[in-house]
Chain A
Amino acid sequence: MVGIVGYGAYVPAHRIKSSTIAEQWGSDPAAIERGLLLTEKTVPGQDEDTITISVAAAKNALKRARIDPQKIGAVYIGSESHPYAVKPSGTILIDALGIGPHVHVADYEFACKAGSEAMYVAYSHVKSGEMEYAMGIGADTSQGAPGDALEYSASAGGAAFIFGKTNVLAEVLFTHSYTSDTPDFWRREYQRYPRHGGRFTGEPAYFKHILGASRAILEKSGMKASDFAYAVFHMPNGKFPLKVGKTLGFTNQQMEQGWVVNIMGNTYSGSSPTGLTSILDVAKPGDKIFMCSFGSGAGSDSFIFQVTDKILEVQDLAPKTRDLLNNKKIYLSYGKYAAYRKKILFND
């Protein structure tokens, strides 16, 4: 049996409300909230970045895994906001957590799917027998251009998963990836903010790839939507994941535990991974969990997990995701938000 042996999430404490951003740009707050099903998002503090978020999430994963960090054979961080263009995020993390030096490290990117692919590769190394434990992390401090629709959703946060063969909390039963050349959202080097193709990001991108991967994994596994206790999809806004889930036959009840976007925003590479941690926090032995990510460019990674009875031993060993989201919130004005997110030009 190969699967998740430790998991953890981290979200920053700062928040900004959709209504604050809407008022800034003269948009109708009610229409925005109705259209995106999003009321607030997380904002990284001035000293937070993808690496600090990854370290915090990984610490929580290690608490639940209860293993010697030295036994981890590989660490992969997937993000589209790695702090350096050239210099790996993963190396800072391993030294912070006492992992390595006999460890393989690589940074991953693929828009919002970088986290799930880090998970997939980590899982594959353990499955193939190459190593005892491997960690995959998805974390981001994504930026939305001022006044752009993405400004309401681009947020910060992440989740870490340690894969192994002993004391497995959630077994990986199946995986399936679906990828094509679909340029719905991109950022050229030296550009500050990404660009996107408007409605082209919907049906030809998000829906096509999530449905492609999801239908294939359901067929491969011989399962149907009603077999699952929970389902989580990439969450660029509140509406898309509910719509794609419904198309596949999932109910709102199956999706609501993992549907963290309405109070978190879209943490890009952290999106479906963080949703997954929220599900693991409450899952019961025997529960099957369906997960499918999406990254622009475009592609989706899907997973089917089955929870074991070991899950009950670990849920309380580290902060639960919805507690992190609900218990500490520092609301920002637009001005403070713009300053923290470095949208204001200082006289450097």
Chain B
Amino acid sequence: MRDVAIIGVGMTKFGELWEQGIRDMFAEAAIKAMDDAGVKKIDSFYVGAMSSGLYTYQEHLSSLMADYMGQIGVPGLHVESACASGGSAVRAAFIEVASGMSDIVLAGGVEKMWDVEDGTIVLATASDQEYEAYNGVTFPGLYAMMARVYMEKYGLTREELAQVPIKNHKHSVNNPNAQYPFEISLNDVLKSSMVADPLRLMDCSPITDGAAAVILCPLDRAKEFTDKPVKIRAVGAATGPIALHDHKDLTRLEAVKLAADRAYKMAGLSPADISFVEVHDCFSIAEIIVAEELGFFEYGTAGKAIAEGQGTYGGKIVINPSGGLKAKGHPVGATGAAQVIEAYYQLTGKAGARQVPDAKFGMTQNMGGSGGSCIVHILEAL
């Protein structure tokens, strides 16, 4: 297996992109990434999208995207793993380069979410249709149950939970691509509309349009393209049960731990080596549970630790320097790729005002549904 590097990245702004369709956004991100890497032709590509069919009635993204990014003839594949589609696309591209099958592979993701009136139904396809969705529960409801159990078991307060979105909004102020680059207050969180008790609007990631793409190549060719490649040190992936009721413990996301353990093992690293992590804060409680599964905090303590500043600059580890899903936005299929892009910016010193100082290793954690799938990448500055 060859070592793999990232040699270029590109993304659209995340937000309500009324003027762009699904093909426009992905083409923009892909072409930006190719220009960034200085490549005119790629060998292969993977595009992550959770549900281009239900959102835009468009499938066959391999053909569509090859066409619109000017790479007709190049093999491509639409990758789907619910909200982990983007991270899965990066992993698939990693395997194709590491195996020696191809040299220049593009991996990215896109989601066009604002063309439908009710996206909640589409998002619910990530849950168990027969035993969960059919009975009326949707993702805010599923994560609300996790939040309720976690709060009961560990004594996490409503105010402490609110510190997750507050922190992420503080970070997004410095992210020019973020959907909501502004701070929010405790009052903003506590007074926002109730979505699924105890989760309020400000605990939930938004509906977002956007696309993100990265270009991978074998590490030993990286210098042909850039002075500052970033190495993908490790990839770990895992699945979990599809239905929340099959989790043994609602305060745990076992697939995240499994994926992280595999990544740490492949990398030969431990949580103490990681300077920053982009986690999948689809809901505020998710960030807390994930931070524990990734090994940064003891079980039951992440909520209080983050509330005390351990998840931001100057604390134990910077969690979601980009603003996370909550403040940067969550175009579902693109998120996993955008997390990798943030890691790339951080590790090449290009993160501007949100730069994590002296970052050597970064981590990304991308997750589908209520922990049904998880991809963890560990990236290294060279």
- Give me the interface of A with B, judged by CB distance under 8 Å: 28, 31, 34, 197-200, 203-204
How far apart are the CA atoms of A129 and B127 in the complex, in Å?
68
Contact partner, A204, options B18, B191, B193, Cβ 8 Å: B18
Chain B 96-118 near chain A by CB (<8 Å), digits 1 or 0: 00000000000000000010010
Q: What is the minimal beta-carbon distance from A301 to any residue of chain B, in angstroms?
A: 23
Question: What would be 15 A-B contacts, judged by CB atoms less than 8 Å apart?
Answer: A28-B193, A28-B194, A31-B191, A31-B192, A31-B193, A34-B191, A197-B117, A198-B117, A199-B16, A199-B114, A200-B18, A200-B114, A203-B16, A203-B18, A204-B18
Q: What is the minimal beta-carbon distance from B336 to any residue of chain A, in angstroms?
A: 25
Q: What is the minimal beta-carbon distance from B51 to any residue of chain A, in angstroms?
A: 18
How far apart are the CA atoms of A199 and B17 in the complex, in Å?
11
How far apart are the CA atoms of A198 and B192 in the complex, in Å?
19
When C-beta atoms are compared, the residue in chain B nearest to A35 turns out to be B193
Q: B175-204: which residues lie under 8 A (CB-CB) from chain A?
A: 191-194
How far apart are the CA atoms of A34 and B201 in the complex, in Å?
14
How far apart are the CA atoms of A198 and B117 in the complex, in Å?
6
Q: What is the minimal beta-carbon distance from A62 to any residue of chain B, in angstroms?
A: 44
Q: What is the minimal beta-carbon distance from A181 to any residue of chain B, in angstroms?
A: 14
How far apart are the CA atoms of A31 and B201 in the complex, in Å?
11
With A31-B193, A197-B117, A200-B114 given, can you name 6 additional A-B contacts, CB distance below 8 Å?
A: A28-B193, A28-B194, A198-B117, A199-B16, A199-B114, A203-B18
How far apart are the CA atoms of A31 and B200 in the complex, in Å?
12
Q: What is the minimal beta-carbon distance from A33 to any residue of chain B, in angstroms?
A: 12
Set of chain B residues within 8 Å of A197, measured between Cβ atoms: 117
How far apart are the CA atoms of A124 and B178 in the complex, in Å?
47
Chain B 8-36 near chain A by CB (<8 Å), digits 1 or 0: 00000000101000000000000000000
Set of chain B residues within 8 Å of A198, measured between Cβ atoms: 117
When C-beta atoms are compared, the residue in chain B nearest to A202 turns out to be B16
The 8 lowest CB-CB distance pairs between A and B, nearest first, are A204-B18, A31-B193, A198-B117, A28-B193, A199-B16, A203-B18, A28-B194, A199-B114
How far apart are the CA atoms of A28 and B192 in the complex, in Å?
10
Chain A CB within 10 Å, residue with most, of B18, B192, B194: B18
Set of chain A residues within 8 Å of B193, measured between Cβ atoms: 28, 31
When C-beta atoms are compared, the residue in chain B nearest to A196 turns out to be B117
Set of chain A residues within 8 Å of B194, measured between Cβ atoms: 28
When C-beta atoms are compared, the residue in chain A nearest to B118 turns out to be A198
When C-beta atoms are compared, the residue in chain A nearest to B19 turns out to be A204
How far apart are the CA atoms of A326 and B194 in the complex, in Å?
33
Set of chain B residues within 8 Å of A28, measured between Cβ atoms: 193-194
Q: What is the minimal beta-carbon distance from A240 to any residue of chain B, in angstroms?
A: 15
Set of chain A residues within 8 Å of B16, measured between Cβ atoms: 199, 203
Set of chain B residues within 8 Å of A31, measured between Cβ atoms: 191-193
How far apart are the CA atoms of A254 and B18 in the complex, in Å?
31
Set of chain A residues within 8 Å of B191, measured between Cβ atoms: 31, 34
How far apart are the CA atoms of A203 and B18 in the complex, in Å?
9
Q: What is the minimal beta-carbon distance from A220 to any residue of chain B, in angstroms?
A: 26
How far apart are the CA atoms of A31 and B18 in the complex, in Å?
27
Chain B 275-294 near chain A by CB (<8 Å), digits 1 or 0: 00000000000000000000
When C-beta atoms are compared, the residue in chain B nearest to A198 turns out to be B117
Set of chain B residues within 8 Å of A203, measured between Cβ atoms: 16, 18
How far apart are the CA atoms of A204 and B19 in the complex, in Å?
9
Set of chain B residues within 8 Å of A200, measured between Cβ atoms: 18, 114
How far apart are the CA atoms of A203 and B16 in the complex, in Å?
9
Q: What is the minimal beta-carbon distance from B11 to any residue of chain A, in angstroms?
A: 21
Q: What is the minimal beta-carbon distance from B76 to any residue of chain A, in angstroms?
A: 30
How far apart are the CA atoms of A28 and B193 in the complex, in Å?
7
How far apart are the CA atoms of A199 and B208 in the complex, in Å?
12
How far apart are the CA atoms of A198 and B191 in the complex, in Å?
22
Q: What is the minimal beta-carbon distance from A28 to any residue of chain B, in angstroms?
A: 6
When C-beta atoms are compared, the residue in chain B nearest to A32 turns out to be B193
Q: What is the minimal beta-carbon distance from B259 to any residue of chain A, in angstroms?
A: 35
When C-beta atoms are compared, the residue in chain B nearest to A182 turns out to be B18
How far apart are the CA atoms of A224 and B117 in the complex, in Å?
38
How far apart are the CA atoms of A197 and B118 in the complex, in Å?
10
Q: What is the minimal beta-carbon distance from A180 to any residue of chain B, in angstroms?
A: 13
Q: B350-372: which residues lie under 8 A (CB-CB) from chain A?
A: none
How far apart are the CA atoms of A31 and B114 in the complex, in Å?
23
How far apart are the CA atoms of A31 and B194 in the complex, in Å?
9
Q: B159-178: which residues lie under 8 A (CB-CB) from chain A?
A: none
How far apart are the CA atoms of A77 and B191 in the complex, in Å?
43
How far apart are the CA atoms of A200 and B19 in the complex, in Å?
11
Q: B185-236: which residues lie under 8 A (CB-CB) from chain A?
A: 191-194
How far apart are the CA atoms of A188 and B312 in the complex, in Å?
52
Q: What is the minimal beta-carbon distance from A22 to any residue of chain B, in angstroms?
A: 11
How far apart are the CA atoms of A319 and B117 in the complex, in Å?
42
How far apart are the CA atoms of A198 and B120 in the complex, in Å?
14
How far apart are the CA atoms of A199 and B194 in the complex, in Å?
19
Set of chain B residues within 8 Å of A204, measured between Cβ atoms: 18
Set of chain B residues within 8 Å of A199, measured between Cβ atoms: 16, 114
Q: What is the minimal beta-carbon distance from B59 to any residue of chain A, in angstroms?
A: 23
When C-beta atoms are compared, the residue in chain A nearest to B117 turns out to be A198
When C-beta atoms are compared, the residue in chain A nearest to B116 turns out to be A198
How far apart are the CA atoms of A34 and B193 in the complex, in Å?
11
How far apart are the CA atoms of A197 and B18 in the complex, in Å?
12
Q: What is the minimal beta-carbon distance from A147 to any residue of chain B, in angstroms?
A: 13
How far apart are the CA atoms of A48 and B18 in the complex, in Å?
40
Set of chain A residues within 8 Å of B192, measured between Cβ atoms: 31
Set of chain A residues within 8 Å of B18, measured between Cβ atoms: 200, 203-204
When C-beta atoms are compared, the residue in chain B nearest to A30 turns out to be B191
Set of chain A residues within 8 Å of B117, measured between Cβ atoms: 197-198
How far apart are the CA atoms of A88 and B161 in the complex, in Å?
59
When C-beta atoms are compared, the residue in chain A nearest to B207 turns out to be A199
Q: What is the minimal beta-carbon distance from A38 to any residue of chain B, in angstroms?
A: 16
How far apart are the CA atoms of A44 and B194 in the complex, in Å?
32
When C-beta atoms are compared, the residue in chain B nearest to A31 turns out to be B193
When C-beta atoms are compared, the residue in chain B nearest to A27 turns out to be B193
Q: What is the minimal beta-carbon distance from B140 to any residue of chain A, in angstroms?
A: 16
Q: What is the minimal beta-carbon distance from B122 to any residue of chain A, in angstroms?
A: 14
Q: What is the minimal beta-carbon distance from A145 to any residue of chain B, in angstroms?
A: 13
How far apart are the CA atoms of A199 and B16 in the complex, in Å?
9
How far apart are the CA atoms of A277 and B192 in the complex, in Å?
36
Q: What is the minimal beta-carbon distance from B15 to any residue of chain A, in angstroms?
A: 10
